[in-house]
Structure 1
Amino acid sequence: MTTPTPPAPPGRSSPPTGDPADPRGAAAAEGAQLPRIVRAMAVIERAGNALPHPFWLFWILSGVLAVVSAFLAAADVSVVSPSDHKTVVVQNLLSGDGLAMAVSTMIENFATFPPMATIVVVIMGVAVAERTGFLAALMRVSVSRVPAAWVVFAVAFAGTVAHVASAAAYIILVPLGGLAFRAVGRSPILGIVVAYTAIASGYDASPVPTPNDAIFAGITTAAAKIVGGDDAYVSPLSNWFFNIASSLLLAAVITLVVRFVLSKRPDLDADPDAELEDLGALTLSPKERSALRAAVLTLVGTLVVLVAVMVPASSPLRGEGGSIVESPFLDGIAAVVAFVFGLVGIVYGYRSGSITSAGDVPKLMGQGIKQMAPVLVLFFAIAQFLAYFDWTRIGDVLAVRAAEALERSGMPIVLVFLLILLLLTLVNVMVTSGSAMWALAAPVLVPMLMLVSVPAETTQALFRIADSGSTAITPMSPYFLMALGFLQRYRKNAGIGTLASYTLPLAVAMTVAWTALFLIWWAVGIPLGPGAPVR
């Protein structure tokens, strides 16, 4: 059944044509107001398209690294390590020893790449929850059972939680955002923009541990070992407390920007001939509701059992002296997360009918791994680059020299944070893969800041802000074009500049507010996560 378009919310001015539903008037207003944005987005798109695929980019960078290492080694470039006061000399990757290392360790580099095993295990559990329909049902309920006054916050917060479903978050929640707004008489265009921006520009802020947490922690651990030795370790939960606060803050910022900025725009109405979807897609069938209820009860019960097991000081899941921070539980948190999602997904699947036999479960896990295949292929190239970078010792030299320069300059560490944020934000416009960008930046930034007493976990939290903020405005992200496709269901003439003009104020406000939260967190000295001091 097709539901008629709800009336436009009050307080919206009309387009220049005088007809609030005239797309030509909206387009004219937009074209008059946003030519610079359109041109800027076109430049970004052309420049980004000139970049090679990240897989080839890392092999190209490996070649550049080899040449640079040869020059530095010939110049006898070296530094004294502040950790053990030994002289560190740059090694030539183009030498015989370098070639032998590259060939003999290629498989080992890939097999021991920190995020590899972790992400595979997490994805197996998450895949069951996603492909049985549990995560989609949870999202539909989360955006449909809220009062109209809270719909913006609900969709925005759901966007941060949806990251647990990785790329599926865009496919599920973005169109649901449009439906949720239509259901309460708001613009479906605005709903799509809110959902997309919450996911894209808040991608690294989630109150629930996600596969990204495992990937970032693995790369950060590898970078921290450059100056911290083999004992350096960063947990997937190292930014958990900061993530919880960030997700609430970003949802609130989106709500305020929509209320005071975006809702004032005159071009929020759908085309008169737009094919509107059935609002029934927001609701669950009785069978789905029953399955969701059973899955949520299973989730609550599982968490209660985990807490009960962890309470006794003598628990086998606690560490030495009853420690929770350094414990088998946190060491194996990736497996715990996978188990919880897998169990909840199995319960939902059996009750909803998406799982009919035990053999379906490993099939769903396999489908999840198959979906991650492009990431695993990228990991192969990243693992080699990081291994080469570590072997040449260029990372040690850069970290020590940069740290010495920071100390001599007397530059406040807060200013250093802001400069790093600005640099990474600009890079993120071109390199939208978070794992790829962090693999490039972490080997330099993490040890550099560790040498001036900034923990690796803090540098990782800083990176999260830069990795997310500009994602919603760059057409280099494939999900930007996906969101544009959803937007064109309601506005056929919408283009790159159209979507960017909607997301820009949200992305800027989110980045500024998130940065302010980070600086306050740093100033107060609140732990970023379990066993992860901010300074």
Structure 2
Amino acid sequence: MTQTKEHKPTERASGFLGVVERIGNKLPDPFWLFVILAGVVALTSWIGSTIGMSATDPQSGEKIEVTNLLTSEGITRMVTDAIKNFTDFPPLGVILTVMLGVAVAEHTGLISALVRAMVAKVGPTTLTFAVALAGVTGSIASDAVYVILIPLGAMSFRALGRSPIVGAMVAFAVSSAGFNASLILNITDVLLGGISTSAAQLVDENYEVSPLANYFFVVASSIVLALIITAVTELFIKNKARELVDHDDLDYSELTFKESATAPAEQSEEELKEEIKLEPQEVRALWFTLLAAVLSTAAYFILMFWPASPLYSPEGALEGPLIRSVAIPIAGIFFILGIVYGVVAGTITKAADIPEFMAKGLKTLLPMIVLFFAVAQFLAWFQWSNLGIWTAIKGSELLQQWDLPVYVLFAALVLMVALLNIFITSGSAQWALMAPVIVPMMMYVHVSPEVSQMLFRIGDSPSNIITPMSPYFALALTFLQRYYKRAGVGTLMSLALPYSIAMLVGWFLFFVIWYALGIPIGPGTPTTYPA
């Protein structure tokens, strides 16, 4: 009889990992972080005004002085404009609108079916790439991609005779480290674009960063990241996983995707394949959804380019309402596709289901909405005090004195983001913190906000997979322990680090090549900001 191995509790990480964990645990919740920072801005504005902090705008030649917020007038403005700061915060309305459509697609089962369809009919040699590509695109499901894809990846690998540990790691790597790339425009594009717009308007009040700003590059990045993950998996991770475990450590009873099913301790390959196979009704629904997608996309472009269209712009399609307010068509297309899928698949049985799904989607955004209230006040105060523009001008002057080659500057920004992300794991919170300084500073050295935003995305995602501060690191560890009982933080770290390093380096080098060739990173997206 095989002896059951005792499950050892996860030990507290030591060394560098332990330092990261201890420092990260001492950081306040992002909401309180921005409340504290807003207080720091107010106090610094008083100090800066008292000592006469000022800078000269290199574009207009205007003298910019730090303004004291702790005056009767300043405090009154903080109170009276608090609601306006919140409601006018660019990402708020946009992300709520887009989520109304995405929520319908998610809760009808469309997104889950699409992910399963991408991996259901592949062979062992192409499975890694299929799961990787599905995971990158699965970011349209936001944080739900972790819960969907990690067990699906493990189960798919097991069904084709490969290690479920490797499958779980591929799914975690691509869901987390590839979060900022996608074949399909998603919430991340909308959210970051809104924050970048707020930051860019510290320099140019009319500047807007479109949700499509990075679209060309992130689509190409999806393929590149899937290839990088495939290479790391096949050349290193599969051998590393084999060294770590033996068959007695694997618990196949947890390899089930459907919440209502409980797999037996020993499943055949065919039974495991059944867990991820699409039902005939789901397949039929996907075909109808594909037809709806083609028709919706055709209608979008007709309305954009047809001169008789009420949404046609004589200044060009990129200046038209369907691009400038792209959140509306994004929400609309997701809404339509979700309804088509739900009606055909039977997940929508009555009209009331649709607003119920939309409400469920908005519930997932409640923590972000709470955070946005604090972020909006911080950014408004940062702008009113002129500390943002002062910091950007002084930072740009320093960069000009250093005269760093542009690619060294880019590499430094990516590395700084990656390191900071170890401690501040919320991408939106981190960009809201960095953008008011980074975006204007880079604009003053003639780098467009869209490029700065893309560099942030490159630095942000790959380090998500290696920080214990992320709640999804703990989620991935929980899943890993289902298949390898002795797994601890160090186990997950040893499997995740190769992915993180390879994706960070590979993705940045891909951007350098793209930038050097002068290829636009999005429709109508400039790579430089005019002097």
TM-score normalized with structure 2 length: 0.92
Match 1:294 to one of 288, 291, 309:
288
Contact 1:318 1:326 in 2 (8 A): no
Distance 1:205 1:272 in 2: 32
Letter of the 1:434 partner, please give it: G
Distance 2:96 2:12 in 1: 43
Which residue of structure 1 lines up, in the alignment, with residue 136 of structure 2?
160
Q: Aligned to 2:472, what secondary structure does the other structure show? A: helix
Which residue of structure 1 lines up, in the alignment, with residue 207 of structure 2?
232
Which residue of structure 1 lines up, in the alignment, with residue 396 of structure 2?
403
Structure 1 position 22, deviation (Å): 9.8
**For 1:62-81, what aligned pairs fall within 5 Å after superposition?**
62-81=38-57
Moved more, 267-276 or 473-482: 267-276
Structure 1 position 248, deviation (Å): 0.7
Distance 1:336 1:144 in 2: 30
Moved more, 184-193 or 350-359: 350-359
The answer to whether structure 1 residue 380 and structure 2 residue 356 are counterparts is no
Distance 1:75 1:524 in 2: 47
CA RMSD in angstroms comes to 2.1
Letter of the 2:203 partner, please give it: V
Structure 1 position 316, deviation (Å): 3.4
- Runs (5+) with no aligned partner, structure 1: 1-20
TM-score normalized with structure 1 length: 0.91
Contact 2:250 2:484 in 1 (8 A): no
Structure 1 position 491, deviation (Å): 1.0
Contact 1:526 1:533 in 2 (8 A): no
Which residue of structure 2 lines up, in the alignment, with residue 92 of structure 1?
68
Contact 2:251 2:482 in 1 (8 A): no
Distance 1:151 1:526 in 2: 31
The answer to whether structure 1 residue 254 and structure 2 residue 229 are counterparts is yes
Structure 1 position 357, deviation (Å): 1.1
Which residue of structure 2 lines up, in the alignment, with residue 432 of structure 1?
425
Letter of the 1:255 partner, please give it: T
- Runs (5+) with no aligned partner, structure 2: 257-262, 264-271
Query: Deviation per CA, 1:460-513, whole angstroms, max 9, x where unpaired?
Result: 000001110100011111111111111111111211111111110011000000
Structure 1 position 215, deviation (Å): 0.8
Match 1:320 to one of 314, 319, 323:
314
Letter of the 2:223 partner, please give it: L
Match 2:468 to one of 465, 475, 482:
475
The answer to whether structure 1 residue 485 and structure 2 residue 478 are counterparts is yes
- 1:320–1:83 CA distance, 2 compared to 1 (3 A): farther
Distance 2:308 2:439 in 1: 35
- 1:242–1:490 CA distance, 2 compared to 1 (3 A): same
Contact 1:41 1:496 in 2 (8 A): no
Structure 1 position 36, deviation (Å): 12
Structure 1 position 424, deviation (Å): 1.2
Distance 1:247 1:148 in 2: 21
Match 1:310 to one of 304, 313, 317:
304
Letter of the 2:412 partner, please give it: L
Structure 1 position 311, deviation (Å): 3.8
Letter of the 2:317 partner, please give it: I
Distance 1:371 1:138 in 2: 21
Distance 1:314 1:108 in 2: 37
Which residue of structure 2 lines up, in the alignment, with residue 207 of structure 1?
183
Q: Aligned to 2:442, what secondary structure does the other structure show? A: helix
- 1:144–1:37 CA distance, 2 compared to 1 (3 A): farther
Match 2:244 to one of 251, 267, 277:
267
Distance 1:313 1:168 in 2: 41
Moved more, 293-302 or 188-197: 293-302
- 1:348–1:91 CA distance, 2 compared to 1 (3 A): same
Which residue of structure 1 lines up, in the alignment, with residue 267 of structure 2?
none
Which residue of structure 1 lines up, in the alignment, with residue 259 of structure 2?
none
Structure 1 position 292, deviation (Å): 2.0
Distance 1:366 1:77 in 2: 48
Distance 1:479 1:218 in 2: 25
**For 1:32-181, what aligned pairs fall within 5 Å after superposition?**
39-181=15-157
Percent of residue pairs bearing the same amino acid type:
44
